[in-house]
Structure 1
Amino acid sequence: MGIRDAMPLLARHEGVWDGTYVHYNAAGEKIDAHRSRLLCRIDDDARNPYHQTNFYSWADGRTEVRDFPAEYRDSRIWWNNDLITGWAAEVALDDKKRTLMLYWQRTGTPDLYLYEMIQLSDDGAHRCRTWHSIRGGMIETRTAIEERLVTRDWRTYEGESTVRVD
């Protein structure tokens, strides 16, 4: 069984997503915001059947690219790279089939971990994501992400590294 069959909700996330990340500190004060383009790729035959590349752009001209290849096993995708270690799974209790849950730690920072919830709209064209970053049992930051699907055909965007900042 391939990842598309094993994780049909994850398969609905395949494509190119444009969005906005807004980060808040523990007091609820906005500390950062930036635009994003995410390439979410699925290839059942690959060593890493899920592969996500994030392109970030800030209004001041800064850019950053982060790459997240993932393995599939035990009904989850798993990351273990220079940036993060963790997993993502479909939430079986969600009978609407809208919710993915992620857990990860930044590599080299074992006292900081993050939980993320991703909600996909019923039409598959929008999603919202929330992160809770926790250090020493206390909330450190919250992140709110809103995204819209640009295209399911991520191959047409392969290698494109810029996101328009309005």
Structure 2
Amino acid sequence: MGIREDMPLLARHEGVWDGIYTYFNAANEKIDEHKSRLFCRFPDSGPHLYHQTNYYTWADGRTEVREFPAEYRDKRVWWDNDLIKGWAAEVPLDEYNRTVMLYWQRQGDPSLYLYEQIQIADDGHNRCRTWHWIRNGMLETRTAIQEKFVTRDWRSLEGQTG
């Protein structure tokens, strides 16, 4: 079986998502916020069966683009690039089939790791994500992300940042 068949919940995330990332420090103070446009792709060919591109835009005009090509094996998506090393997996204990869990660690910083939980709405038009950044066993940052689905046809918008 392939990635779409083995990970049908993750396959529901394929497409373009627009959202807002809000960061809070351990004292629950807002420390950053920016808009996003994410392209979640399952390419038909090539070395990576999953590829995500994140476009970030801040109110002051700053922008950033991050590429996350990934491998697929053992019913998980695996990243190992210059920024992160980690995995994503569906949560089989969720009888509602809404939850994907991620773990990753920043390359070059073994004291910092992150767990992410993604919840997709039953209708597939909204999702929310939370990140817990943990350094040396202590919560350092939380990220709250709210996203709206734009289109499944990511090819039609490829390269557009929103």
Residue in 1 that maps onto 2:129: 129
The letter for the 2-side match of 1:91 is: V
2:120 maps to what in 1?
120
> Shift in Å at residue 46 of structure 1?
2.9
Residue by residue over 1:69-124, the C-alpha shift from the partner in whole angstroms, topping out at 9 and shown as x without a partner, is 00000110000001100000000100100000000011111110000000000000
Give the conservation status (yes or no) of the 8 Å contact 1:131–1:143.
yes
Structure 1 residue aligned with 2:3: 3
In the superposition, the TM-score normalised over structure 2's length comes to: 0.98
Structure-2 separation of matches of 1:111 and 1:73: 26
Aligned partners of 2:46 and 2:149: how far apart in 1? 24
Whether the 8 Å CA contact 1:71–1:79 is kept in 2: the answer is: yes
Match of 2:72 in 1: 72
Indicate conservation of the 8 Å contact 1:4/1:44, yes or no.
no
Other-structure match for 1:82: 82
User: Structure 1 segments of 4 or more deviating over 3 A?
Assistant: none
Tell me, in whole angstroms, the C-alpha distance in 2 between the residues paired with 1:28 and 1:140: 10
SS of residue in 2 equivalent to 1:10: helix
Secondary structure of 2:61's aligned partner: coil
Per the normalisation by structure 1, the TM-score is 0.96
8 Å Cα contact 1:2-1:44 kept in structure 2:
no
Question: Residue 32 of structure 2 aligns to which amino acid in structure 1?
Answer: D
Q: CA deviation at 1:44?
A: 5.0
Query: What is the CA distance between 1:47 and its match in structure 2?
Result: 1.4
